[in-house]
């Protein structure tokens, strides 16, 4: 397979001016990432700063109700509240070893922006975060957190004023400052080498999960479920399973956001409802019209609100290595409420999509089996949205 491709997906479809920094990054990934010194420094940061390893938590109440053991991989317990910090610490460390002094990032929900700002502050790098004006409005607490952590937040007024526009601006900013600046991309998508780099940094999730399952119940799980926005928490969970021959029978299930579920509504489900095309430097599945214009996406969870998806998921789907389904807003909100009341955990709305699929499909899951949901983040950031929906949640 040519470098940077996953089957027919992936690649590097970028303007000429972006080739040199992408080449420089690719070389740095090959030279620096595997070195024991880098791995030791990253491991120390992940353990003593971010809070790894994260627990695998059994949900006793829901398990009794469902007829199988439901486990949560608790990425919500990490510093800054989500799996994003696994990636930003790795990229910030890499940037510093490359001699860069600054990070630029895009953010939608603000989780990746906060995680980048924290990593930059910790490692002495300056930080600029691009965020669509609409997201700045929807996610005001995260904007304040980024600024407190020393980042400059630049609102983006172009296009739909959301994540896809923020990525465009961040790429432009990087072109002009590539000598001093590393683009800390937030998900396993974009031009090569980002899908591979982010996947490798997030694979700690799947590696830990496999070891913890063996410890907890002496085997690998029957089913593993994760939500899919750009795809980083899901690929971090799935990838180590796909590399282990003993895991061949483990069902890997990715969940896309279906929006309101009304006929003709906007969704964030390119794997289920999209077609192949090019966006943000990668060939992957996209929500687009017949002329190749990107369609607006929508989800109650800002972190899933993206019209594209990482190319390795498109490959996993085409090759039958993982399956991908849709969950709509109201199911995710119901799952959010169920986890709060049954287990005392407030999940992120993104992660609630993965949980919702399990709750809605319990009858089809193996009785007495073991099911793991990747709880990618905590729900504190979603409180304003949750408050709007409290009446419909019966809370």
Ligand X SMILES: Cc1ncc(COP(=O)(O)O)c(C=O)c1O
Give me the active site residues, please.
59, 83
CB atoms near residue 43 (< 10 Å): 12
* All residues at 6 or more sequence positions from 140 whose CB lies less than 8 Å from its CB, including other chains: 384
Each residue 82-121 as x (binds ligand X by CB under 6 A) or -, in order, gives x-------------------------xx-xx---------
Name which position in 14, 127, 213, 227 contacts ligand X (CB under 6 A): 227
* Distance (Å) of CA 26 to CA 8, 19, 155, 221: 20, 10, 29, 34
Each residue 26-65 as x (binds ligand X by CB under 6 A) or -, in order, gives ----------------------------------------
Cα dihedral across residues 110, 30, 241, 6: positive or negative: positive
Among 19-27, 223-231, 280-288, 292-300, the segment contacting ligand X (CB under 6 A): 223-231
Say whether the peptide bond before residue 193 is cis (omega within 30 degrees of 0): yes
- When the beta carbons of 128 and 374 are compared against ligand X, the nearer one is 374
Distance CA 251, CA 265 (A): 29
**Helices 84-97/194-202 angle, 10° precision:** 120
- When the beta carbons of 82 and 338 are compared against ligand X, the nearer one is 82
- When the beta carbons of 89 and 227 are compared against ligand X, the nearer one is 227
Instruction: Give residues 348-377 in contact with ligand X (rule: CB under 6 A).
Output: 348, 350-351, 376-377
Instruction: Name the minimum Å distance from CB 219 to ligand X.
Output: 26
Distance, CA of 392 to chain centre: 27
Backbone angles phi, psi at 160, to 5 degrees: -85, 5
CB atoms near residue 393 (< 10 Å): 15
Instruction: Name the minimum Å distance from CB 69 to ligand X.
Output: 23
The CA-based angle 151-89-384, given to 5 degrees, is 55
Instruction: Name the minimum Å distance from CB 177 to ligand X.
Output: 24
Under rule CB under 6 A, residue 303 binds ligand X: yes
Each residue 133-172 as x (binds ligand X by CB under 6 A) or -, in order, gives ----------------------------------------
Among 232-240, 285-293, 332-340, 358-366, the segment contacting ligand X (CB under 6 A): 232-240
Q: Applying CB under 6 A, what is the total number of residues that bind ligand X?
A: 21
- When the beta carbons of 246 and 380 are compared against ligand X, the nearer one is 380
Distance CA 227, CA 234 (A): 6
Distance CA 73, CA 150 (A): 30
Distance, CA of 341 to chain centre: 26
Name which position in 229, 240, 270, 274 contacts ligand X (CB under 6 A): 229
Residue 124 DSSP class: T
- Contact positions vs ligand X (CB under 6 A): 82, 108-109, 111-112, 187, 227-234, 303-304, 348, 350-351, 376-377
């Amino acid at each position: 397979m040519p470098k940077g491709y996953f089957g027919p997906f992936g690649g590097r479809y970028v303007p000429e001016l972006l080739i040199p920094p992408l080449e420089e990054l690719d070389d740095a990934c090959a030279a620096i990432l595997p070195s024991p010194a880098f791995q030791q420094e990253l491991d120390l940061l992940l353990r003593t700063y971010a809070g790894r390893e994260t627990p695998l938590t059994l949900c006793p109440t829901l398990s009794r109700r469902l007829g199988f053991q439901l486990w949560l991989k608790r990425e919500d317990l990490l510093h800054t509240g989500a799996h994003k910090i696994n990636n930003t610490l790795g990229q910030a460390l890499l940037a510093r070893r490359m001699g860069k002094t600054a990070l630029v990032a895009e953010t939608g929900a603000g989780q990746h922006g906060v995680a980048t700002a924290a990593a930059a502050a910790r490692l002495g790098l300056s930080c600029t975060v691009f965020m669509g004006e609409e997201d700045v409005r929807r996610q005001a607490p995260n904007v304040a957190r980024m600024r407190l952590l020393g980042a400059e937040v630049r609102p983006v007024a172009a296009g739909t004023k959301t994540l896809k526009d923020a990525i465009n601006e961040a790429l432009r900013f990087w072109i002009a400052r590539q000598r001093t600046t590393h683009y800390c991309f937030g998900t396993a998508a974009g031009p090569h080498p980002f899908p591979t780099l982010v996947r490798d940094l997030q694979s700690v999730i799947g590696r830990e999960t496999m070891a913890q399952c063996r410890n907890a119940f002496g085997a690998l799980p029957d089913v593993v479920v994760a939500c899919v926005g750009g795809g980083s928490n899901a690929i971090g969970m799935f990838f180590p399973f796909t590399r282990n021959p003993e895991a061949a029978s483990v069902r890997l299930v990715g969940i896309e956001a279906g929006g309101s579920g009304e006929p003709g509504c906007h969704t964030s489900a390119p794997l289920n409802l999209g077609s192949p095309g090019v966006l943000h430097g990668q060939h992957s599945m996209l929500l687009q019209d017949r002329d190749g214009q990107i369609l607006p996406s929508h989800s109650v969870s800002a972190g899933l609100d993206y019209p594209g998806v990482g190319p390795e998921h498109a490959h996993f789907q085409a090759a039958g290595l993982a399956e991908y389904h849709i969950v709509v807003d109201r199911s995710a909100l119901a799952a959010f409420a169920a986890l709060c009341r049954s287990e005392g955990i407030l999940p992120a709305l993104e992660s609630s999509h993965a949980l919702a699929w399990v709750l809605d499909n319990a009858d089809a899951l193996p009785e007495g089996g073991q099911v793991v949901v990747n709880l990618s983040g905590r729900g504190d950031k979603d409180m304003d949205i949750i408050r709007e929906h409290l009446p419909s949640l019966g809370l």
